[in-house]
Copies of this chain bind each other. A is one copy, B any other.
Amino acid sequence: MIAKDMKNSIKNGSIIRAMFEEGKKRARIYGAENVFDFSLGNPNVEPPEQIKQAIIDIVSSEKPMNIHGYMMNSGYEDVREDIAKSINRKFKTDFTSRNIIMTVGAGGGANVVFKTLLDPDDEVITFAPFFGEYRGYVANFGGKLVVVSPNTVDFQPNLIEFRDKVTPRTKAVIINSPNNPTGVVYSEKTIIELSEILREKQKEFGTEIYLVSDEPYRELAYENVEVPYPTKYFENTIVVYSFSKSLSLPGERIGYLVIPTEAADYENVFAGAGIATRILGFVNAPSLFQRVAARCVDLEVDVEVYNRNRELLYDSLKSYGYECIKPEGAFYMFVKSPIADDSRFCDMAKEKNILIVPGTYFSCPGYFRIAYCVAYDTIRNALPGFKALMDEVSGI
């Protein structure tokens, strides 16, 4: 009775979400302390203490109508202005409230962008490995996701193949840096070269192509690595941001879009994004958390907690013989599967109550993803399992 598309979606499910639920099931059977769930990017670092106080202050001092009522679909104007100013302070940009649309997290934001931009059969290019949800987000609006194959040397985007995949039907390119699943930060060189190719192709085809920069992990970067702000390199950039990770509020569904005034067809894109927010049923980003985000826009969670996890996990896995790039950001590690069949390896790990996601889900078979946004002890206690797995497959 349900839609045919949805039947397929139920069959395929989200392997990540399925693992999340598997993890909870196993925790009930084996005890939470014996299950090592590295499946979901659910931040384990607490929100900054000020979040709680901001919530209490806001509900105690503001009129209920000003915090729980409807506002423009694009969000509270003062909130959007505060966010624009914060971006300007950090990146020496020049945005105002007229460049910001509040969204229901980055997932909501990406859907608003694609609803606004895509005609049926328009192409959206992305670089493997990539966050598997992009498939659904693009398909929701009849778009076609075109995948550039991975560069497994350093996991920067494969720009040579990219150049060949841009066509007159390319409406957008979606990038994600710091990257899920690799933790790699796309370098300034990458962003500059990508921008040059886009300009060249726009000229060749007489089209406009939007660079959609999905940045929920922007604030999670280690050792002072620079995460270039993409609107400074390419004029048709739309930033999709979320406070889910920077403030550890993923359940609250609060984020924003940046639509620069210099982007092609700016007036329509901005108006369209407001309307798309309405038509898709979001209506507006949750109102109280718009205000919380504005108050806490310059705060960040304690990234050092993730960094400690990263160091322990990376050093240990390397010492057991695993191959992987040391992530510079986010809280994911993308490890080469010691056997070619990554799904089989993840099944073997599951038998040891270690939940990890096959690279196949990210269109990069032969690898697996570890989400290390977990307690330090979870990593420490899982290490013997990772070692045993390597020993096992080495004996095969």
Contacts and interface: CB of A to CB of B under 8 A. Distances in A.
A356 B55 CA distance: 35
Given A2-B116, A104-B282, A268-B7, A69 B251 contact: yes
A269 B2 contact: yes
A68 interface: yes
Interface string A259-274: 0000011001101100
B283 A252 contact: no
**Main SS class of interface, A:** helix
A6 B68 contact: no
B69 A51 contact: no
B4 A281 contact: no
A2 B259 CA distance: 13
A280 interface: yes
Contact of A14 (B21, B278, B284): B278
Interface in A232-277: 248-253, 264-265, 268-269, 271-272, 275-276
Contact of A2 (B64, B137, B265): B265
A169 to B, nearest CB: 13
Contacts of A153: none
B269 A1 contact: yes
Nearest to A263: B1
Contact of A279 (B9, B67, B115): B9
A122 B278 CA distance: 22
A59 B104 CA distance: 21
Nearest to A112: B281
Nearest to A251: B287
Interface of A: 1-7, 9-10, 13-14, 17, 20-21, 40, 42-44, 46-47, 51-52, 55-56, 59-60, 64-65, 67-73, 104-105, 107-112, 115-119, 122, 133, 136-137, 140-141, 208, 210, 248-253, 264-265, 268-269, 271-272, 275-276, 278-289
